[in-house]
Structures are given as structure tokens and as C-alpha cells.
Amino acid sequence: MRDLILGFVPDEWLHELDYGTLERVPGSYVTEDFSNRADDIVWRVRVGGEWVYLYLLIEFQSGVNKYMALRMMVYVGLLYQDLIRRGEVLADGRLPPILPIVLYNGSQRWSAVTDVCELIPPVPGLVEQFKPRMKHLLIDENAYSEQELASLRNLVAAVFRIEHPASPQAISGLLSLLSEWLADRPDLRRMFALWIRATLMRRAEYRIVLPRVDDLQELNVMLAERLEEWAHAYKAEGKAEGKAEGEALALQKLLRRRFGSIPAEVLQEISGASVEQIDIWLDQVLDAGSLEDLFGPSRR
């Protein structure tokens, strides 16, 4: 959490806080109707004897959540209710400040609004003044280049780079860096080793099963044995993807010259087809009398 704030939140006041007081707090709240809500990550840090709460919601969805701003407003409200219930308000009865953060690691760039008021259209007169307003801070992994992340001696930057590696070989270098940075933190070394193993096994392109290890150096040795195999797989997949894309574009060009506009369902079928199937269509396109001859009925 400290590295997330120092590396990715541009605020001098936050950077000057005493992160020696940083601690995790319970993040599972119970609403007034007693329905349980899943854990989010909530931390607090002291400022002059009082607490500032850092509310982190890690968004693991592959797509963008249009209503994330509303979701964050509800979660912050639940957190405040919980703080009041536990008597953890400020000395004068006011509520402690909260910084709501959404850490997004999906494959697309984030495009949803970050202020709930932007989800509501403008309203004339008095009603406009009472629209709810609450913003959250968005940290989008895709917004940072490999060069920007590599320039930071920062654990969160290393996490971003491992989730979106430039190549399989880059992972080995990152593991060596983490081993050096965490030399005196065996607890974090173990956590990183377990997380990286799980992350790599989830990557479909690696097609790899790793034994359970809890040491970064041991994991690095294990991965080094497979780097050459991964590199060949990367090259082969890149060539296959490039060939499929090129042949698909060639097929679309021929279809437009023969039959005019191409229906969306045909384009979708082409985009999901194998190289072998595209080759068959390329062989048949000059002799086909219509799109139906190639792709079946109902193509107009």
C-alpha cells in the first residue's frame, strides 16, 4: 500500500505521512439489513494522532464497469457507517477522511466516469444542486509504459510489469529485482512467490503447471528452465496470429470487390476462424456466386 501511494498517487501531503503507522483494518461490513458484503482492502495511517483511511478496491474484471463510481460511493458510505458503529470517528465527532482508490488491471483502457454525478444527466434549477457527487482515484495499469514502470524502484510497479510482461525473459529479471528488494522481508518474498506462480499459471499462452514454491529464487530457477520453451511459443503464436490477421484482411478485401458490403455476422465469423478455414474461403471466393455459397444462407 505504501508503494502504491508513493509511486502512483501524485500528492505531496500523502507522501509525507508516516507509513510506519500504516495498518490493515477489517473491510467486511454489515449493512442495516444484516446482508454481508465481500472484503475490500482498507488501510489507515495516522496524521497528527488521527486516522486517514485509504480505501482500495482492486478491480479484477476484464471489462470496464460503467457504474464503478456509484459502487464506490456505496462502499464509502458503508465504511463510514461501520466506523460510526465502532466509535472510530474523530475526537470532535466528525468523520475521518477517506481516499477511495480503484486499481484497475483489465486489458482495456478504463473509460468509465470517476465521479458519480457524471452518471446523472444535467437537470434544470434546484435539482441540479442536489445531485450526489463523489469521486474516486483511478489507477489504471494500462496507462503506464514499460519504461515508466522500469524507472521506479517500487513493488507495485513490479507487480504491473509482471501482469503485463514485455516478454517471458523479462519475468526472470523482475524476480531477481524482487529478491534483491525483499532480502530482509521473508514474509513478502513468500507472498510474491505464491502470487507470481498463480499469475503465470493463469496465463493461457504459457500453458504451464508449476509446483508450489514459496521462495522467489527457487521460482526463478524453475522458470529459467522453461524460458527457451516460452520464447519459442511466443514466436510461433506471433507468427500464427500475424498470418491469420493478414489472410483475414485479404479475404475481406476480395469479398468486398466481389459482393460489395459485408454483413457484420460474416466479419465476425471471419475474425474467429482458423488459418485453415480462411485458406479454404480464399480458395473458393473467386468461384463463389454469392456470400451464401461461402458462408451459408441469410447473409444479406
What are the residue ranges spanned by the domains of the chain? 2-143, 158-225, 245-295
pLDDT value, residue 300: 47
189, 193, 195, 199: CA torsion to nearest 10: 150
The region, left, alpha or beta by phi > 0 then psi within -120 to 50, assigned to residue 87 is left
- Give the closest residue to 132 by CA, choosing from 144, 141, 123, 140: 123
pLDDT band with cut points at 50, 70 and 90 for residue 226: low
pLDDT value, residue 282: 82
Q: What is the DSSP letter of 32?
A: T
pLDDT band with cut points at 50, 70 and 90 for residue 68: very high
Q: Which residues pair with 103 in a beta bridge?
A: 58, 139
The C-alpha cell 457507517 sits at 81
Q: Taking the CA atoms of the chain, what radius of gyration do you get in angstroms?
A: 26
Distance (Å, whole) CA 141 – CA 108: 10
In this predicted structure, the answer to whether residue 299 has a pLDDT above a threshold of 60 is no
pLDDT value, residue 285: 78
3-state secondary structure of 115: strand
- Give the closest residue to 23 by CA, choosing from 51, 8, 43: 43
pLDDT value, residue 228: 57
Exposure string for 22-36, b = 16+ CB within 10 A, e = fewer: eeebebebeeeeeee
What percentage of the chain carries pLDDT values higher than 90?
Answer: 24
In this predicted structure, the answer to whether residue 164 has a pLDDT above a threshold of 60 is yes
pTM of the model: 0.67
Distance (Å, whole) CA 100 – CA 134: 10
Question: What distance lies between CA 288 and its chain's CA centroid?
Answer: 45
Q: Which residue has the higher pLDDT, 264 or 190?
A: 190
Q: Which residue has the higher pLDDT, 124 or 273?
A: 124
Q: Which residue has the higher pLDDT, 135 or 286?
A: 135
For residue range 9-62, list pLDDT tens digits in order.
999 999 989 999 998 887 666 555 545 555 578 888 988 888 888 877 666 666
